[in-house]
A = this chain, B = another copy of it.
Amino acid sequence: MKPIKIGLLGLGTVGAGTFRVLRRNQQEIIRRAGRGIEISMIAVRDLPKAQAIVAGACEVVTDCLQVVNHPDIDIVVELMGGTEFTKELVLTAIANGKHVVTANKALLAIHGNEIFRAAQDKGVMVAFEAAVAGGIPIIKALREGLTANRIEWVAGIINGTTNFILSEMRDKGLDFATVLKQAQELGYAEADPTFDIEGVDAAHKATIMAAIAFGIPMQFDKAHVEGISALQAIDINYAEQLGYRIKLLGIAKRTTKGIELRVHPTLIPSNRLIANVEGAMNAVLVQGDAVGASMYYGRGAGAEPTASAVIADLVDITRLATADPEHRVPHMAFQPDSIRQEVVLPMAEITTSYYLRLSVADQTGVLADVTRIMADFTISIDAMLQKEPAQDETKTDIIMLTHQTQEKNVLAAIEKIEQLSSVYGQVTKIRLEQLS
């Protein structure tokens, strides 16, 4: 059978990795797919650079439209990034009857509903394993491996840059700015790290996981997005003393009132396996009603790990190309006519536990005032740590872990606490999840 023909948009890190792995493991891939997978055209911005990589193995052009409109191309692989022009290219490829593989989480989190509708109408596949957690086949696990389950929640370390920074802050006791600079020098953080450190990238991925776990549309605009740039080393240290690690988690949770979709720094008990996922590694923990907890761990970024996911999608499409379109794995895990709009809860309505740090005057009565306010808002305290004031200091820290409560109660209590004359500055609040 003749090889399936690929058109590639973009030959950056991941594009070059895909090109390299496809060639290196050509024989192994044919043995699995039953058919060759061949890149026949690549669209790039920098022609000479691309030609040096490709070395005449396929045609290289600068016009993306040449790829998406080429009659011989079966699958368009989009690895160029961006959301607006890229959306148009992807929709054009679909309109031309081509299958699409993309690693672009922003594109799917923002325009996924529209793209999948177009693909459905046209009977083509849009595959996106590489969009979440790089080389870890988490999309496949959620869409196919766990189909027996009512999925209750998904919680993931899905941004390697921030996990690297948090690991370093903890290990070396350094502050955020110092570690970010090191991460940039080591290539673990981009020159403009905003999307990573402010949680936007994780929120794109959490949005995609929520959709396919629960059968709801992509709703990135409803996600709560909070990064790690305000996190202080002292809180990592206090958390450690209380038996917790701080990770940036993307959380999608089903509750009786609606869906929680949120990204924020989170305390996790140190003895949980996911709390021990260090450096730039990713891991996703999924709770299903039948399977219980299962976890998926691996490299969430990088040329070849991401290429691994891109090529797995190419093999899937090659294998499934002959299936009746109605019977392929649905793009969003659930059949298109069964995707349901469900409320994504505003942050005030979510329920979790909290770590609170207060800087207080070292005098009697402060703790009584604080705990009375907590009780007034029906927040019960699970653990407390009060530090001895340093020598010649009249200030000290109180750290409290709360039981489960609604966020609005905590916000209201914090407002009251900050009004106490014996409390200095703002209360630091970090959410805590038991993940059990």
Chain B residues in 8 Å Cβ range of A149: 25, 28, 308
Tell me the A98-146 residues at the B interface (CB within 8 Å).
Answer: 129, 135-137, 140-141, 144-146
Closest 6 CB pairs of A and B: A137-B145, A294-B298, A148-B311, A323-B323, A135-B291, A322-B324
- A293, B327: Cα distance in complex, Å: 32
Contact with B along A289-315 (1 / 0, CB 8 A): 111111111110000110111111001
The stretch of A48-56, A81-89, A331-339 that contacts the partner chain: A331-339
Q: Is the CB of A308 within 8 A of B288?
A: yes
Specify which chain B residues have a CB less than 8 angstroms from the CB of A215 in the assembled complex: 28, 31-32
Cβ contact within 8 Å between A291 and B276: no
In the assembled complex, how far is the CB of residue A43 from the closest CB belonging to chain B, in whole angstroms?
22
Partner of A140, one of B33, B145, B298, B320: B145
Contact at B292–A31, with CB atoms within 8 Å?
A: no
Is B290 a contact of A307 with CB atoms below 8 Å? yes
Q: Which residues of B contact A21 (CB under 8 A)?
A: 148, 289-290
Query: Are B288 and A292 within 8 A (Cβ)?
Result: no
Check A29 for interface membership: any CB of B closer than 8 A. Answer: yes
| A304 cross-chain contacts in B, Cβ below 8 A | 289-292
Q: How many of these chains are in the complex?
A: 2
Contact of A291 with B308 in the complex, beta carbons under 8 Å: yes
The number of residues on chain A lying at the interface, defined by a beta carbon within 8 Å of a beta carbon of chain B, is 67
Q: Say yes or no: is A326 at the interface (Cβ < 8 Å to chain B).
A: yes
Pair A319/B311 contact, Cβ less than 8 Å? no
Task: Scan residues 314-354 of chain A and give those whose CB is less than 8 A from a CB of chain B.
Answer: 315-316, 318-324, 326-330, 333-335, 338
The answer to whether A312 touches B29 (Cβ under 8 A) is no
Decide yes or no: A308 and B148 within 8 Å by CB, A295-B297, A323-B322 being known contacts: yes
CB distance from A304 to the nearest CB of B (A): 4
Q: Chain B's nearest CB lies how many Å from the CB of A285?
A: 9
Told that A33-B147, A148-B311, A291-B308 touch, could you supply 15 new A-B pairs with CB distance under 8 A?
A17-B290, A25-B290, A28-B215, A29-B148, A140-B140, A146-B312, A148-B312, A276-B276, A290-B305, A290-B308, A292-B299, A293-B298, A295-B295, A295-B298, A296-B296
Cβ 8 A contact of A327, one of B137, B140, B323, B334: B323
Contact yes or no, B31 A334, CB < 8 A: yes
Report 23 cross-chain contacts, Cβ distance below 8 Å, ordered by A residue: A21-B148, A25-B150, A25-B290, A28-B215, A32-B333, A34-B327, A141-B141, A141-B145, A144-B312, A146-B308, A147-B311, A147-B315, A276-B276, A291-B309, A292-B298, A294-B298, A294-B299, A295-B298, A319-B327, A319-B328, A319-B329, A321-B327, A323-B324
